[in-house]
A and B are shown apart, each in its own frame.
Chain A
Amino acid sequence: MESNQIFIEKSGNVTVLDIKGDVTSASESVFNETYQSLEGDSPKILLKFDPSVYINSGGIAVLIQLLAETRRKNQQVGITGLSDHFQKIFKMVGITRFARIYPSVEGATQGLAG
């Protein structure tokens, strides 16, 4: 199975987590480590996915755990890069009630800053 890499970038005052590889239950440690490594204040976080990403229910559970942490810390979260199918899945599960989907990094940077 393809392993994950998450690159941390900045776009304005938004911390972008650029997620490479599949998101499954095996992604838990890399997501936890990345989140814990965020320096200082990261009030706005953007999860940037690869449009061809494979996400299964185990991966969604990992994302829910991450969202639970961001909610506890009052961090705002956006999502970008997802295919139409996974946008539908995220809506179905209810994730989009807590993390808005943006069409691009630029759009998310503007939207999260507002």
Chain B
Amino acid sequence: MQQEREIVRMIDEQTVEVSLPNRMGYERIAMDCSASFARIAGLVSHRIEDLKTAVAEACLNAIEHGNRGRPEARVLIHLNCDGETFTVTVVDEGEGIAEFPKEPDIEQKLAKLETPRGLGIFLMKNLMDRVEFNRKTARGHSVTMVLRMETAPAASKASREMA
């Protein structure tokens, strides 16, 4: 019998954990969970869109590069909101990023002198306020992304209560 696994766990009022199968497309679950949690915390909508894209790209990197597409591996996403910052940590079972892609040059890409890929890390860095790569954890390699909380006025109470 297949072992049942919990996908989403509320650790406490400030923290949610998502454990995903290592499968392309499942990053959408992490996107939706982080967006829902950020919405409850009161993050303004345009920053939620930034968060969704950054979370998706971190998960895709974990699935494809960190876990090298291994179906038995997992991707763990840890979401925390302390009222001041929204922090996402994505953990895979890999060794970390050995070589970072260079800043994308669209001219070079269109001239086919540079791979059209390699945009994920660029997007994460540009959409989040802070990104830390290659931190080793007990489970593997992690990427941590931090967003300062910008709250809509009506939602600021929920955000304060999380603090």
Contact = CB atoms under 8 A, between A and B. Distances in A.
B106 A57 contact: no
Interface stretch (B1-9, B52-60, B136-144, B145-153): B52-60
A94 B57 contact: no
A105 interface: no
A61 B123 contact: no
Contacts of A39: none
Per DSSP, chain A at the interface is helix
B106 A83 contact: no
B6 to A, nearest CB: 23
B49 A83 contact: yes
Interface stretch (B68-76, B83-91, B111-119, B155-163): B111-119
A12 to B, nearest CB: 26
Interface in B98-141: 104-107, 109-112, 115-120, 122-123, 126
A105 to B, nearest CB: 24
Contacts of A25: 24
B110 A93 contact: no
A85 B53 contact: yes
A57 B28 contact: no
A67 B110 contact: yes
A25 B122 CA distance: 17
Contact of B53 (A1, A26, A61, A89): A89
5 contacts: A61-B115, A62-B116, A84-B46, A94-B105, A98-B110
Contacts of B123: 57, 89, 92-93
Contacts, number: 66
Interface of B: 24-25, 27-28, 46, 49-50, 53, 56-57, 60, 104-107, 109-112, 115-120, 122-123, 126
Interface string A58-102: 101110110110010000000000011100010011110110000
Contact of B28 (A26, A54, A65, A93): A54
Interface string A37-66: 000000000000000001011101110110
Given A61-B116, A64-B116, A94 B49 contact: no
Contact of A60 (B24, B28, B49, B119): B119
Nearest to B24: A1
Most A-side CB within 10 Å, residue of B56, B109, B118: B109
